[in-house]
């Protein structure tokens, strides 16, 4: 990794002066807002109808299960030579899926089927968007660009959860779904009017064979495997902790969710905007520890203010994702950057779904506080055991 501690840092203002990046950024912001509102409304609806911690957790994060299907089958479309057309088509699918959730009295089985369908296509959209990102900004600006998008994700989630909690006091979940549909529609318009197709991509025939070929090459190398493990599993287990907030504190879940998102925002801002590559590299491991350690306090059933601070601090630990993604990008050949980033994102999202499902299943037999503590301990163990393999990725050619 680079060792220069005085390297210039690309400013967010300079990034937003790039029309295409501004379009990707704005559409991403709107999509996250729509997803946050939709997920909170669905989780509340399922909790009201079933009272099941497992189904509530899966309803909030269930779409992540289908992202692995996208990574395994059609993720090669992310590196096609018509990325704008692909992204617009995928945004149209998302619009239809979110709108369908607003149908009154839609059976829960149909709602979960929609979640899986949306998760599949959203994984392809993420890969396509990240592939475009590496082309519309210089390589040196990649981490600040990802940081800004992560900050947006955290900040929008803070507002989304808070707004969702307020809206659901006055509106039905179906009306909140309609609000999410409108946001998704605006995101579609933004993508269609700002992003262009890039002709520098080599002609490729995307499909199952191409996807499997690239994935096999990626996972056969020890360096990328170690990075993917550390990007996926600790994050997913902590998201499982977050999935239990509604069951742990029904009246204060919005506060805890917002605190976690605010911590993520602060962590990504600090790591992505103010640290050099060398410093980012050094802070990856401590941030991974910070991601899980505060949740061990839940074993003591802390009062709400203490729990809120713990969740906020743990949220900052998600910023370890940035230096690990930077290492993975450095090990990735240019022609498959979209697919590799899509696989990384899909795996991370899938593990979030696994973490949520695991948390919900354990909470059926244990208390939410005990389950949160156990998942945090496992996350710490994975981070500690995988550290030697992650450190090997600093060597060239690993």
CA–CA separation, 237 and 355 (whole Å): 5
Joined tokens for residue 288: 């991974």
> Which H/E stretch holds residue 20?
helix 19-50
CA–CA separation, 32 and 220 (whole Å): 33
Give CA torsion, residues 360, 361, 366, 367, to 10 deg. Answer: 10
Q: Which residue has the tokens 């390297």?
A: 7
CA–CA separation, 134 and 111 (whole Å): 34
CA–CA separation, 324 and 282 (whole Å): 11
pTM of the model: 0.71
The model's pLDDT over 170-219, given as tens digits with 9 standing for 90+, comes to 888 888 899 999 999 999 999 999 988 765 555 566 667 777 777 777 77
The model's pLDDT over 146-174, given as tens digits with 9 standing for 90+, comes to 888 877 776 777 677 778 878 888 888 88
Joined tokens for residue 85: 């057309």
Please provide the DSSP assignment of 116-137 as one string. HHHHHHHHHHHHHHHHHHHHHS
The model's pLDDT over 79-133, given as tens digits with 9 standing for 90+, comes to 766 788 888 998 999 899 999 998 988 898 898 888 888 888 887 888 888 888 8
Give how far Cα 253 sits from Cα of 63, 64, 173, 305, Å: 20, 21, 17, 13
pLDDT, mean of residues 264-273? 85
Joined tokens for residue 90: 């995928």
The model's pLDDT over 359-391, given as tens digits with 9 standing for 90+, comes to 988 988 898 999 999 999 999 999 999 888 888
Is the model's pLDDT at 260 over the cut of 80?
yes
> Which H/E stretch holds residue 277?
helix 277-292
pLDDT at 62: 66
């Amino acid at each position: 990794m680079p060792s220069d501690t005085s390297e210039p840092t690309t400013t967010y203002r300079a990034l937003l002066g790039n029309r295409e990046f501004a379009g990707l950024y704005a559409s991403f912001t709107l999509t996250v807002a729509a997803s946050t509102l939709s997920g909170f409304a669905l989780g509340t609806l399922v909790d009201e109808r079933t009272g099941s911690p497992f189904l509530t957790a899966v309803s909030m994060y269930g779409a992540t299960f289908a992202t692995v299907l996208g990574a395994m089958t059609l993720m090669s479309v992310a590196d096609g030579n018509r990325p704008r057309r692909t992204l617009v088509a995928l945004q149209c699918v998302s619009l239809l899926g979110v709108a369908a959730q607003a149908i009154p009295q839609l059976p829960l089985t149909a709602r979960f089927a929609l979640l899986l369908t949306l998760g599949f296509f959203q994984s392809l959209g993420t890969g396509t968007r990240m592939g475009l990102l590496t082309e519309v900004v210089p390589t040196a600006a990649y981490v600040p660009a990802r940081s800004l998008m992560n900050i947006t994700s955290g900040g929008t989630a803070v507002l989304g959860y808070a707004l969702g909690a307020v809206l659901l006091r006055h509106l039905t979940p179906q009306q909140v779904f309609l609000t999410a549909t409108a946001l998704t529609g605006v995101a579609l318009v933004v993508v269609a009017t700002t992003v262009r197709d890039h002709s520098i991509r080599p002609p490729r025939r995307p499909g199952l064979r191409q996807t499997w070929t690239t994935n096999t090459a990626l996972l056969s190398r020890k360096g990328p495997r170690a990075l993917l493990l550390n990007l996926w599993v600790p994050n997913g287990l902590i998201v499982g902790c977050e999935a239990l907030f509604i069951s742990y504190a029904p009246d204060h879940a919005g506060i805890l969710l917002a605190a976690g998102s605010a911590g993520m925002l602060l962590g990504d801002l600090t790591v992505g905007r103010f640290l050099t590559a060398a410093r980012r590299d050094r802070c990856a491991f401590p941030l991974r520890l910070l991601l899980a350690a505060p949740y061990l306090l839940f074993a003591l059933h802390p009062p709400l203010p203490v729990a809120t601070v713990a969740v906020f601090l743990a949220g900052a630990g998600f910023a370890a994702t940035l230096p690990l993604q930077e290492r993975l990008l450095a090990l990735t050949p240019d022609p498959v950057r979209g697919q590799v980033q899509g696989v990384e994102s899909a795996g991370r999202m899938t593990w979030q779904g696994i973490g949520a499902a695991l948390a919900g299943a354990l909470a059926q037999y244990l208390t939410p506080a005990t389950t949160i503590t156990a998942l945090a301990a496992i996350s710490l163990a994975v981070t500690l055991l995988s550290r030697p393999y992650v450190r090997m990725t600093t060597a060239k050619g690993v």
